[in-house]
Amino acid sequence: MLNGLVATTSRLTIVDLEAGLEHLSRGTARHVETLLVVGEPYFKSLEAAGRSTALARDLGLADIQMVANKVRSARDEESMRDYAARHGIPVAGIVPYDEAVISADERGVALIEHQPDAPSVTAIRRLADDLLGARPSPGSPR
């Protein structure tokens, strides 16, 4: 079902995949242009992101990028960039750790409505612009 939808809709499509990529079919993968793998700055999460990336590569996905989430410090960012570089995964964006995400969730409202100028939202806006090509991609030379 997902396959048919992603293959034929003309709309910009964003799929929130099931955790883990075990259920992602080759058919669906063929129509996904960009896979964003979200990882957190700790070893197990990075390992999981690395596994997802390997699986997605096996499925034939060409454009796989990592989004670092819940980044608390320059050291966090560095460790994620380091992991990504060692595994040849481009980093699409860095989203900071943000209390606004927790308070939006507690209130049961959308983060972007709860606090439109939250640091996490600002980072996701930047990511969106990069993906839409409004800004030079982070991987390209400046």
Partner 1 sequence: MKVAVAGKGGSGKTTIAGTLARVMAGRGVPVVAIDDDSNPNLALTVGIGRESASGLPPLPRDLLEERPNADGTTRLELSISAEDFIDRYGRAAHENLTLLVLGQPSHGGSG
Question: Applying CB under 8 A, which of residues 78, 82, 99, 113 lies at the interface with partner 1?
Answer: 113
Establish if 4 lies at the interface with partner 1 (CB under 8 A): yes
Handedness of CA 108, 109, 114, 119 (dihedral sign): positive
**One-letter amino acid identity for 47?**
E
Establish if 62 lies at the interface with partner 1 (CB under 8 A): no
| Token pair listed for 102 | 């927790």
Helix (H, G, I), strand (E, B) or coil at 125: helix
Establish if 54 lies at the interface with partner 1 (CB under 8 A): no
Establish if 36 lies at the interface with partner 1 (CB under 8 A): yes
Establish if 125 lies at the interface with partner 1 (CB under 8 A): yes
**φ, ψ at 132 (rounded to 5°):** -80, -5
Which span (23-31, 74-82, 83-91) binds partner 1, by CB under 8 A? 23-31
The contacts found for 47-51 with CB under 8 angstroms, 24 or more apart, are 49/83, 49/89, 50/83, 50/87, 50/89
The binding site for partner 1 (CB under 8 A) comprises 1-21, 24, 27-28, 31-40, 45, 48-49, 52, 56, 67, 69-70, 95, 101, 105, 108-113, 120-121, 124-125, 127-128, 131-132
